[in-house]
Amino acid sequence: MAFPFQIKSLSDYQQAYKHSVESPEKFWAGIAAHFKWKKKWDKTLEWNFDQPDVKWFVNGKLNITENCLDRHLRMSCDQPAIIWEPNDPEEHHRVLTYNELFFKVNQFANVLKNNGVKKGDRVCIYMGMVPELPVAMLACARVGAIHSVIFGGFSAQSIADRLFDAQAEFIITCDGAYRGAKDIPLKNTIDDALVGCRFVKRVIVLTRTHTPVSMIKGRDVWWEDEIKKVETQGNPPYAAEEMDAEDPLFILYTSGSTGKPKGVVHSSAGYMVYSTYTFVNVFQYEPGDVHFCTADIGWVTGHTYIVYSILCAGGTSLMFEGVPTWPDAGRFWDIVEKHKVNILYTAPTAIRSLMAYGTSPIVGKDLSSLKVLGTVGEPINEEAWRWYHEHIGKGNCPIVDTWWQTETGATMISNMAGVTPAKAGYATLPLPGIQPVLVDEKGVEIEGNDVSGNLCIRFPWPSIIRTTYGDHERCKLNYFTTYPGYYFTGDGCYRDENGFYRITGRVDDVLNVSGHRIGTAEVENAINMHTGVLESAVVGFPHDLKGQGIYAFVILEKMHENQDQTRLDLLQTVTRIIGPIARPDKVQFVTGLPKTRSGKIMRRILRKIAEGDLSNLGDISTLLEPMVVEDIKNGKV
């Protein structure tokens, strides 16, 4: 069975796009009709971007898990929903059919109920890449609880901040996680996060690594014990909670230009409809295809393209616990061969790091099952694109370059595999329903082709961010006030002579390090917490593997005391406060920072220095102390 809304040709695309712009409500109502609703919506869309207030499928009732699971049971109960490949190739892989996944989700939904989780409660999930992670997410969705998955690389402090912000009373975690040669002690990190935190009522702990953990009486319970209780209750099915179309499905924290990560809130129905639509069209998924998205479920890519959209489409999702380079740099290719992967979706960073090993890890690996390749998370450089195309796709697989963000829920600008044209380094054309606009600094729309500007979106799409949890004003300020009337993406963009879009990178103070989003202000806050630090400024610089690296300029109280040790201590502080992903690659101790007379740090100058572009710093005459620039240049690391 093909999907009723799958676009099959360029002219199909052009027609769908035109329809989606001319009558968006009709267009999306037509797509939404293919989903399972408990009650049909009254009105397709209500919106204004000033508040902002966006509602899709008003008064519609549904439960996304009935779309992910129940409705596939008759047709495809023995079809694999999730294929899980463990970290260690010696360990057996696991397959969960739709039937089995349905059973496990119901079982765990009962566990949640037994532990007091109710509709609307926030549940924090901090687990490794094991099949129980999607089970936990879907079980939350089934009972109507709002999950907030936190990536395993975040520190206890980051978890505590997020728990507090979301007022999450429940946590689901693992004793530990395997990633490459490392065991990561997840439960211990949770315990550190919970020191002094009184509102968390229950921590459910899955056994994975058998790392010793402390289990606090009355608060901590084992996943396995709780499952046994449900078994003795006779494993009753869990009637999926009736959710309003606009009820939040999940919160996912992401970095912005301020020091504090914000909880991006996605709705139940709009997210479901739009993400599934993009999955089927961008990847040109065919029933039975094995889709391997290499992202971690801790990021939005994993939420959307490992879990929700693909299960809604009745597809087979391959999830991998480990890392691309362990036990060797052939791990991905072994997985492709072993599970006959048809679609491979990964990040330019991963491609660049594998490229560095040359082609020998690919030799002798059968990659002939591959039909479609995808990239996400950062601009892809031409060299990596060519390598991916030639050595992995053997010249036969279209590459989709999917541009989107945590806030957009799913892909916004991308070619559709084999259906619309590809161009290396370009996300190419907007998907149906998406109206990109380039604006200048003043917010004036830049029309025509062969132009650059800041990327905005003119009209709501179903999976647009609804709010930032607990602080709607922040959502408005961040996305809807810079250019009134538009959603502002924070990205710079070029539109070529054919109208193809190329994302050129962030224009705000957000870095993209190995496809992970990190706010410079967040890193500065962490550095400034270190004893002896007076002030700091963090900027990005081009990094061969990571795309962007983190460069920190730091002023110490006592400049010349044991700088090497201080540098290491500083890195340790950043690891403690945010997590290892935010560790600066370079730390330069400076005596002053370039500031305007009003005290604002001139980041432009620091960026140039970090990039190594020392000769062309632009006008520095407006600086309070122009001399400081010479000192910084001389001390560049």
Residue 594 lies near ligand WT7 (rule: CB under 6 A): no
Cα dihedral: 415, 22, 276, 476 (round 10): 100
Alpha-carbon gap, residue 480 to 50, rounded angstroms: 7
Which of these, 8, 27, 10, lies nearest to 274 by C-alpha position?
A: 27
CA 338 vs CA 305, 363, 596, 632: distances in Å: 21, 15, 59, 52
State in angstroms the smallest separation of the CB of 294 from ligand WT7: 12
Alpha-carbon gap, residue 33 to 429, rounded angstroms: 25
Query: For ligand WT7, which is the closer residue by CB, 282 or 609?
Result: 282
Alpha-carbon gap, residue 401 to 50, rounded angstroms: 31
Query: For ligand WT7, which is the closer residue by CB, 465 or 587?
Result: 465
Residue 401 lies near ligand WT7 (rule: CB under 6 A): yes
462-475 burial, b at 16+ Cβ within 10 Å, e below that, comes to bbbbbbbbeeeebb
Query: For ligand WT7, which is the closer residue by CB, 185 or 379?
Result: 379
State in angstroms the smallest separation of the CB of 408 from ligand WT7: 8
* 161 neighbors 209 (Cβ within 8 angstroms): no
Query: For ligand WT7, which is the closer residue by CB, 314 or 348?
Result: 348
Stretch that binds ligand WT7, among 236-244, 488-496, 526-534, 564-572 (CB under 6 A): 488-496
Query: For ligand WT7, which is the closer residue by CB, 145 or 518?
Result: 518
Three-class SS of residue 511? strand
Return the ∠ at Cα 3 (arms to 69 and 55), rounded to 5°: 70
State in angstroms the smallest separation of the CB of 210 from ligand WT7: 33
| Footprint of ligand WT7 on 251-280 (CB under 6 A) | 254
What would the x/- binding string for ligand WT7 be over residues 489 to 508, using CB under 6 A? xxx-----------x-xx--
Stretch that binds ligand WT7, among 97-105, 156-164, 326-334, 374-382 (CB under 6 A): 374-382
Residue 301 lies near ligand WT7 (rule: CB under 6 A): yes
Residue 284 lies near ligand WT7 (rule: CB under 6 A): no
Residue 377 lies near ligand WT7 (rule: CB under 6 A): yes
State in angstroms the smallest separation of the CB of 253 from ligand WT7: 10
Query: For ligand WT7, which is the closer residue by CB, 445 or 508?
Result: 508
Alpha-carbon gap, residue 402 to 346, rounded angstroms: 10
* 589 neighbors 555 (Cβ within 8 angstroms): yes
Residue 72 lies near ligand WT7 (rule: CB under 6 A): no
- The residues, any chain, with a CB within 8 Å of residue 624's CB and separated by 6 or more, are 595, 596, 597, 599
Residue 379 lies near ligand WT7 (rule: CB under 6 A): yes
| Footprint of ligand WT7 on 425-464 (CB under 6 A) | 427
Three-class SS of residue 570? helix
* Tokens standing for residue 193: 């996060």
State in angstroms the smallest separation of the CB of 341 from ligand WT7: 20
Stretch that binds ligand WT7, among 226-234, 382-390, 402-410, 604-612 (CB under 6 A): 402-410
Alpha-carbon gap, residue 484 to 63, rounded angstroms: 34
Residue 378 lies near ligand WT7 (rule: CB under 6 A): yes
Stretch that binds ligand WT7, among 5-13, 83-91, 99-107, 370-378 (CB under 6 A): 370-378
* 79 neighbors 98 (Cβ within 8 angstroms): yes
Query: For ligand WT7, which is the closer residue by CB, 41 or 299?
Result: 299
Alpha-carbon gap, residue 374 to 306, rounded angstroms: 13
Which residues on neighbouring strands pair with residue 58, listed in sequence order? Answer: 43
Among positions 403, 487, 501, 551, the unique one binding ligand WT7 when judged by CB under 6 A: 403
Alpha-carbon gap, residue 345 to 309, rounded angstroms: 14
Query: For ligand WT7, which is the closer residue by CB, 163 or 376?
Result: 376
Among positions 517, 567, 595, 603, the unique one binding ligand WT7 when judged by CB under 6 A: 517
What is the SS3 string spanning 361-380?
CCCCCCCCCCCEEEEECCCC
* Tokens standing for residue 584: 């600066």
Alpha-carbon gap, residue 267 to 607, rounded angstroms: 37
State in angstroms the smallest separation of the CB of 491 from ligand WT7: 5
State in angstroms the smallest separation of the CB of 322 from ligand WT7: 20
Query: For ligand WT7, which is the closer residue by CB, 111 or 264?
Result: 264
- The residues, any chain, with a CB within 8 Å of residue 598's CB and separated by 6 or more, are none
Residue 330 lies near ligand WT7 (rule: CB under 6 A): no
If phi > 0 it is left, if psi is from -120 to 50 it is alpha, else beta; for residue 147 that is beta
Query: For ligand WT7, which is the closer residue by CB, 61 or 291?
Result: 291
Residue 308 lies near ligand WT7 (rule: CB under 6 A): no
State in angstroms the smallest separation of the CB of 492 from ligand WT7: 9
Q: How many CB atoms lie within 10 A of CB 12?
A: 16
In the bound state, the residue with its beta carbon closest to ligand WT7 is 406
Residue 321 lies near ligand WT7 (rule: CB under 6 A): no
By CB under 6 A, the count of residues binding ligand WT7 is 23
Alpha-carbon gap, residue 172 to 137, rounded angstroms: 10
Contacts with ligand WT7 by CB under 6 A lie at 254, 299-301, 376-379, 401-406, 427, 489-491, 503, 505-506, 512, 517
